[in-house]
Amino acid sequence: MENTSYSLKKNARLAGLLYILVILTGVYSIFFVTSKIIVQDDVLITTQNILDKEFLFRTGIISDLISNIFFMLLVLALYRLLKTVNKNTAKLMLALVVVQIPVVFFMEALNTTALMTVKGEVLQSFDLSERQDLAMLFLKINEYGMLTLEMFWGLWLLPLGYLVYQSGFIPRIFGILLIIAGTAYMFDSFTAILFPGIRAYVNKPALLLMAVGEISITLWLLIKGTKNNISAIKKQE
């Protein structure tokens, strides 16, 4: 019994560590780097920022790739932790993350292509304004691809929230918060695609719900691990 409890805590804390690494690297690439480089609807300033802050732009690409490697390791750790709760639901959770990874790598290839285009390393027969427009096109494709991915960022949290809620060794409130966070991701994604004019009113409340759900479970897993509840652990055996 002690070995089972120790194993659950060890797996939970590993998942918590990976989760916080996913959050930190993701926030750096998606929020920090983007805010320093991208100026909406201004091709000239955005492309000039890419040239002036090339290293920062490149670190954003690397950070996003690393974030998704951590994401894969995270979902594997969570699968190992929660598969005894409901194996089919755990497989669904795993699948909803796996399908995202190739898309992310393709999107980062678009970012790299945008950089090469702005620098004139490709499409050298095109004049500067044409290269700038093409680079902005690559960045826009990446931006819209991110909106699609956001739906999957929400979808995978639904089975995770269900598994946490049913686990017995993690407080049920975290399962509820994860389901709310997943719903907020999807609602923000659908709003951005269907009603872009009102997304500004939806995005900040959605971000708050996402942050509460994901940060709370991350801190619980990292600090506490699992409940010291032998009867709950018995149910997992």
pLDDT at residue 230 is higher than 50? no
pLDDT at residue 231 is higher than 70? no
Cα 106 to the center of its chain, rounded Å = 15
Q: Which sequence spans correspond to the domains of the chain? A: 2-236
Backbone φ and ψ of 21, nearest 5°: -70, -40
Rg from Cα positions in the chain: 20
Minimum mean pLDDT range among 5-9, 37-41, 218-222: 5-9
* Cβ pair 185, 205 in contact under 8 A: no
pLDDT at residue 22 is higher than 70? yes
Q: What pLDDT is recorded for position 228?
A: 60
Per-residue pLDDT of 93-142, as tens digits, reads: 999 999 999 999 999 999 999 999 999 888 878 888 899 999 999 999 99
Question: For 69-75, what is the mean pLDDT?
Answer: 96
CA distance 81 to 52: 45
Residue 195, classed as helix, strand or coil, is coil
CA distance 222 to 202: 30
CA distance 154 to 133: 32
pLDDT at residue 158 is higher than 90? yes
Minimum mean pLDDT range among 3-12, 24-33, 79-88, 226-235: 226-235
pLDDT at residue 237 is higher than 90? no
Say what the pTM is: 0.88
Q: What pLDDT is recorded for position 225?
A: 78
